[in-house]
Amino acid sequence: MKIRYQADADLNEIIRLAVVRHEPTIEFQSATAAGLFRLKDPDVLAVASREGRVLVTHDQRTMPRHFADFIANNTSPGVLVVPQHLPVTVAAEDLLLIWNATEAEEWINRICFLPI
């Protein structure tokens, strides 16, 4: 099954738009569409998990810890952490590469820091 992405509220929307513009068939839901604003990390992870979407976030500080806590008792489709300093083009290319080269099942309970 193809990966479906979920943007965290802190993710630069330009990254999401660049990915979708390059490959319109990618399911990359915005944080607004998912209602993620003002939710705490564990709740964001739960929403992404319920929807079967890999969470894409800039949150390097707290999300990895919350992800570890979350997968101790739940299953997650995975998390991709995009450093703030990573250029938009590099982030978009990596997300496209992941989408093209892997399946959703390969990301279950995994966290990955870009660039790959």
At residue 17, the 3 state secondary structure works out as helix
The predicted pLDDT at position 44 comes to: 98
Q: What is the pTM assigned to this prediction?
A: 0.97
pLDDT tens track, the chain, 116 positions: 999 999 999 999 999 999 999 999 999 999 999 999 999 999 999 999 999 999 999 999 999 999 999 999 999 999 999 999 999 999 999 999 999 999 999 999 999 999 99
Q: Could you list the beta-strand ranges (E) of the chain.
A: 5-7, 28-29, 54-57, 79-81, 111-113
What is the C-alpha to C-alpha distance for residues 13 and 80, in angstroms, rounded to an integer? 15
φ, ψ (nearest 5 deg) of residue 89: -60, -40
Tell the residue number behind the tokens 């319109």, with chain if given. Answer: 24
Q: How many CB atoms lie within 10 A of CB 37?
A: 10
CA 32 to chain centre: 14
For residue 69, the enclosing domain spans 5-113
- Given a contact cutoff of 8 angstroms between Cβ atoms, the answer to whether 85 and 12 are in contact is no
Total count of domains within the chain: 1
Q: What is the pLDDT of residue 70?
A: 98
pLDDT at 104: 98
CB neighbour burial string for 57-87, b if at least 16 within 10 angstroms, e if fewer: bbbeeebbebbeebbeeeebbbbbbbeeebe
